[in-house]
Chain A
């Protein structure tokens, strides 16, 4: 993947790279080093007294059963968002792939939630599911007799933030699946059709296996989304509650650092999160490298 022909110029390339590198160094690398340093400190809010404690912040976090439960919740949440978002999107893409007229029309009307910010998705679901005046919340309580109160029931709160996050991701996944399906050579599907395979069998034996690479790619992207970008959904809907039921890792970093002003612990949690992102990125890129080679 290298070019044979290129320009020779001593200063220009550095000049071209300077802005990107400057921003990277000042706002990415340097703060990360600081986070590493801060994770070894205990200090008061004003920074008047600091104490070097080595890895104690990490030890406390790892020993904290609440952190462990936050990790488990984050994993459950991420996979649930990915699973729900992917399966609904795949189903809809399969339907849209089958219709002849109006495919573009459906694509347009199914893709706009992509533009909605996670925080706004939180607001939309708040209005729908608020137990006292939300349209669906009231319906659940009064008509269906379900004790719907996500401010108190942890499972319901988890369900709600999963729904709101997945709602937003469906359109994104849908676009990829649809594009993937349309890239499948028509002859392949027709061949299966001649062999007498019905639409369902054709989907599972021909189309779906060919979509595996995209599915895997989307899985990683969706998990990263659920890990980091759902902060807004949580902040608006549940603020990590009730009883910590939706306190995912990113929310905890924010809450301990900015609300609780416990910078040492918050920094240590950031460092752990960095480890997770690095692992996810490596997985993502190893996969992409593989795809590039075949």
Chain B
């Protein structure tokens, strides 16, 4: 009798103790910009972490789209109410990293927590975007994607092209487009989403030419745009010429033009690898995924493309215990189980080679052909100074400037040279203003 009573009492005591412990858990606020189905996956990650240990509790909250999330976190910081972790899109990287007093670099957090943390255990092309010039990781890559080429296999077959071999180079792509149009299989050759990201930023990386000076801004705020080089002008002028005869059709700044592809107007479509799921849902035809084309006369062996998407930044002004929890969480986040599940569930890239291996071994890519194209393209060779990423201040406005100038070029109001010269000039003004504000 007394044994039973003692056992009950002891276990009640334990239950009480662990409940108290749960209440005492250190809370870590994570603001993210993932809505809908993606948001649910984010919350699932937080829940899995919370269940895996009992010291910390990560609370994930959706704060609107990327811009709203970032502006919200900045406003909160100014009011002294900042979250621990905030998800910031890649163009906000320079703003975050220049705010020295506002952020706490990831490598520092990992170092202080004594975590065994080795940046070389990550995919260089993914983490490179978020490391400083010394190779130290400033923020934690979270959702990364890269542009790929989607093509309509049925149209390729109808035009007498091989539906299993998408064009590799721009000249091949032009030829394929003309065949597709003249055979009546399509009314337009290709369209592109996120024109600055795909046709200039990734173009530069793939052809190993600088987008901006100072290692694309990694080596200092006194960087200048270099997108009016002959290589860039030649490419943009080619697109402009093609847009006059239907080979290329412009469909909007963001992903708006996807309907051109899914409604069978354009045969090819360049967009983020994370757009795969959406295309699968809306395209009533068989399609394939190819790599982003290159100009063989510029580069014989194209470099890796760079990433888009977002990373997790840690804000300053919290307790040491909180940062230890964040280190635990990031460790959990980069484990290959979590990473491969995230990759398979969302189409975003895994951040470690280990996660890629896990996914490959699971047979995922055999079941989902085309899902590995982005990873292969990302990992084709060691990133160079030109293909590591971009670190430009006021980048949101610079992209706007580039969008505006490109639109003027597509519309035929300006030549590629004129438009890109103006873009460089206007972009440099914005860079100087940022440099001044962040002295």
Answer whether A and B touch in the complex at a CB cut-off of 8 Å.
Answer: yes
A51 contacts B436, C-beta separation under 8 Å: yes
B132 is an interface residue with CB less than 8 A from chain A: no
B318 is an interface residue with CB less than 8 A from chain A: no
Query: Known: A151-B250, A261-B71. Is A132-B78 also a contact (CB below 8 A)?
Result: no
A241 is an interface residue with CB less than 8 A from chain B: yes
**B166 CB to nearest chain A CB (Å):** 22
Report Cα–Cα, A164/B102, bound state, in Å.
Answer: 43
Please tell me which stretch of B49-57, B251-259, B336-344 contacts chain A, meaning at least 4 of its Cβ atoms lie within 8 angstroms of it.
B251-259
Query: Known: A46-B102, A48-B99, A243-B407. Is A259-B439 also a contact (CB below 8 A)?
Result: no
Residues A219-266 near B (CB distance < 8 A) = 239, 241-244, 255-256, 258-262, 264
- Name A239's contact: one of B74, B253, B265, B413 (CB within 8 Å): B253
A281 contact set on B, CB distance < 8 A? none
Residues A29-80 near B (CB distance < 8 A) = 42-49, 51
B250 contacts A152, C-beta separation under 8 Å: yes
A133 is an interface residue with CB less than 8 A from chain B: yes
Interface digits, B69-81 against A, CB 8 Å rule (1 contact, 0 not)? 0010010011000
| Most chain B CB within a 10 A radius of its CB, from A47, A152, A239, A256 | A152
| Chain B residue nearest in CB terms to A154 | B411
- Name A243's contact: one of B78, B251, B265, B408 (CB within 8 Å): B408
Residues B365-413 near A (CB distance < 8 A) = 394, 396-397, 400, 403-405, 407-408, 410-411, 413
- Name A244's contact: one of B67, B99, B265, B404 (CB within 8 Å): B404
A149 is an interface residue with CB less than 8 A from chain B: yes
Query: Known: A241-B403, A262-B397. Is A46-B251 also a contact (CB below 8 A)?
Result: no
B361 is an interface residue with CB less than 8 A from chain A: no
B437 contacts A43, C-beta separation under 8 Å: yes
Report Cα–Cα, A95/B112, bound state, in Å.
Answer: 78
What band does the interface of chain B fall in when counting residues whose beta carbon is under 8 Å from A?
35 or more
Query: Known: A44-B99, A258-B67, A261-B71. Is A241-B407 also a contact (CB below 8 A)?
Result: yes
B237 is an interface residue with CB less than 8 A from chain A: no
Secondary structure of the B side of the interface? helix
Query: Known: A42-B436, A45-B99, A151-B252. Is A133-B411 also a contact (CB below 8 A)?
Result: no
A46 contacts B407, C-beta separation under 8 Å: no
Interface digits, B262-284 against A, CB 8 Å rule (1 contact, 0 not)? 01010000000000000000000
Report Cα–Cα, A227/B407, bound state, in Å.
Answer: 25
Residues A109-140 near B (CB distance < 8 A) = 130-133
| Chain B residue nearest in CB terms to A133 | B259
A153 is an interface residue with CB less than 8 A from chain B: yes
B433 is an interface residue with CB less than 8 A from chain A: yes
- Name A47's contact: one of B78, B259, B410 (CB within 8 Å): B78
What band does the interface of chain A fall in when counting residues whose beta carbon is under 8 Å from B?
20 to 34
| Chain B residue nearest in CB terms to A255 | B400
Query: Known: A242-B407, A243-B408, A259-B67. Is A44-B98 also a contact (CB below 8 A)?
Result: yes
A153 contact set on B, CB distance < 8 A? 411
B256 contact set on A, CB distance < 8 A? 151
Report Cα–Cα, A261/B67, bound state, in Å.
Answer: 10
Report Cα–Cα, A198/B259, bound state, in Å.
Answer: 53
| Chain A residue nearest in CB terms to B397 | A260
Report Cα–Cα, A261/B99, bound state, in Å.
Answer: 13
| Chain B residue nearest in CB terms to A43 | B437
Residues B114-146 near A (CB distance < 8 A) = none
B363 is an interface residue with CB less than 8 A from chain A: no
B102 contacts A152, C-beta separation under 8 Å: no
A241 contacts B404, C-beta separation under 8 Å: yes
B403 contact set on A, CB distance < 8 A? 241-242
A46 contacts B77, C-beta separation under 8 Å: yes
A244 contact set on B, CB distance < 8 A? 404
Closest 8 CB pairs of A and B: A242-B407, A132-B259, A243-B407, A243-B404, A151-B252, A46-B102, A46-B99, A260-B397
Apart from A241-B407, A261-B95, 10 more pairs, CB < 8 Å: A42-B433, A132-B265, A242-B404, A242-B407, A243-B407, A243-B411, A256-B397, A259-B397, A260-B400, A262-B397
